[in-house]
Amino acid sequence: MQETRKQQLQSFCQALGVQMHDLELLDMALTHTSYAHEAKQHPKPQHNERIEFLGDSVLSIIVSTYMYNNFPELAEGQLTKLRAHLVCEISLFEYAKKIHLGDYLKLGRGEDFTGGRERPSILADAFESVLGAVYLDQGMEVARTYLLGLMQPEIDYICRHGIFNDYKTRLQEYLQRDGEVEITYRLLGSSGPEHNKVFTSEVIFEGKVIGKGQGHSKKDSEQHAAQQALKQLHVQNK
């Protein structure tokens, strides 16, 4: 491994609050299939699909155990529905952005050029891959501490208050609580191939951008922009 990459991964570990022993494992967790397929070396470098499979299971058991232990009033059906929301692609995408995961990904040139570092599916998968690497290298307790350090506030909120899927309506109700105001959404653009486009939108209130979001449709990107605005306004904690 090149020294610059080693230093980059050490910086990432420091940001995560996890001291990884095997940086090669972490490097593999951050290697997208597009990079491995384009590599000219033989054998080809390993990519993160297998460790993503493991990370998905680690994610599920940590979140499920936390919910089971801390919310005994929730029935099985409720737990299943809430967990699905908490570990869905867009939720993991938001956590990946929070730890700036895209900055550390190894992508093929084509994927990188078309906005792969900001693509929800790639970042969500890589988030699971990194969790899988932390689990293999450090064990379940460290993996649990790392994951819940990111997710616990959201898990607690969702389990106590339920799921609010219509973030645009919720944002409008919040901002218009004292009277009519103007809220507008603006499409900033799209990236990626036709079959997997990612749209980016922003929400504007009183001339200021208060949230940005991405999604696989214009409508979804607006919902995620509204979701980010609600978080910025700390509405979820009220």
Q: Which residues are catalytic, by number?
A: 56, 128
Specify which residues 47 forms β-bridges with. none
Distance CA 57, CA 184 (A): 40
Distance CA 65, CA 140 (A): 12
Distance CA 36, CA 83 (A): 32
Distance CA 93, CA 228 (A): 12
CB 166 within 8 Å of CB 223? yes
Rg of the chain, C-alpha, whole Å:
19
| Closest C-alpha to 167, from 175, 155, 159 | 175
Counting runs of H as helices and runs of E as strands, what totals does the chain give?
Answer: 11, 3
Specify which residues 108 forms β-bridges with. none
- Chain centroid to Cα 92, Å, comes to 3
Using the 8-state DSSP alphabet, how is residue 178 labeled? T
Judged on CB neighbours under 10 Å (0-12, 13-18, 19+), 35 is buried
